[in-house]
Amino acid sequence: MTQQQATDGMGKMELGIKRTADILFAMVGMVVLSPVMLAVAMSIRLQQNGPIFFRQVRIGKGGKPFVIFKFRTLSSEAENEGPQLIAQGDELTSTRLERFLRGHHLDELPQLWNVLRGDMSLVGPRPERKYYIDKIMKQDARYSLIYLMQPGLTSEATLYNGYTDTMEKMLRRLDMDISYLEHRSLWLDTKIIIKTALSIVTGRKF
């Protein structure tokens, strides 16, 4: 299937509403959650040296690179070891704070800024590094369909497939992301956001 053959479940009007909702949610979220983000930033500063935020280049809609933001939960040494599929859980999160942040996905909160800027959406395929996109494309050229969508803070694939620590999981996530493209709607996005919020509150891993 090529980009020309792909069917998008959302029309122009729904996409416009989706973008408006992204902006409003990101603005409200950054205000309401600012005490939480400030507390997280101060805790990171007290427990480790180095920058509070982790920045990394990811690939977005249309294959355009952008800088994604997270609260730092890895040591600089771990990040400098080169490309990895994911941080290997507790092996690289050395403190209780870091494990808590990752377990409840609070390290992702700075990506509300990415949503506000238009780099990302609330719901969409998780953005990947070019290093891994190249590897996935060798296995399944349909990854080019992902470029039709804004990457998201959360997705159905992330909820049910979790972090992608193997190529098998990456390809399974790709299938789910393409299914999302074909069937996405404002109602589906709403359900994904609710499920994500419940998972964060309960600390369920995904």
What span, in angstroms and rounded, lies between the C-alpha atoms of 61 and 119?
8
Domain assignments of the chain as residue spans, ordered by start: 12-202
Q: For the chain, where are the E strands, in sequence order?
A: 53-59, 65-71, 121-123, 152-154
Q: Report helix, strand or coil for 154.
A: strand
pTM attached to this predicted model: 0.84
pLDDT value, residue 75: 58
How many CA atoms lie within 13 Å of 167's alpha carbon, on the beta-carbon side?
Answer: 10
Strand partners of residue 71: 53
5-12 long-range contacts, CB within 8 A, separation 24+: 6/145, 6/148, 6/178, 6/181, 6/182, 7/181, 7/182, 8/148, 8/181, 8/182, 8/184, 9/180, 9/181, 9/182, 9/183, 9/184, 9/185, 9/188, 10/184, 10/185, 10/186
Q: Which of 4, 28, 62, 9 is nearest to 178 (CA)?
A: 9
Mean pLDDT, the chain, rounded, equals 86
Mean pLDDT by 10 residues, the chain (206 residues): 66 95 97 94 86 94 96 63 47 66 86 97 96 94 95 92 81 94 95 91 69
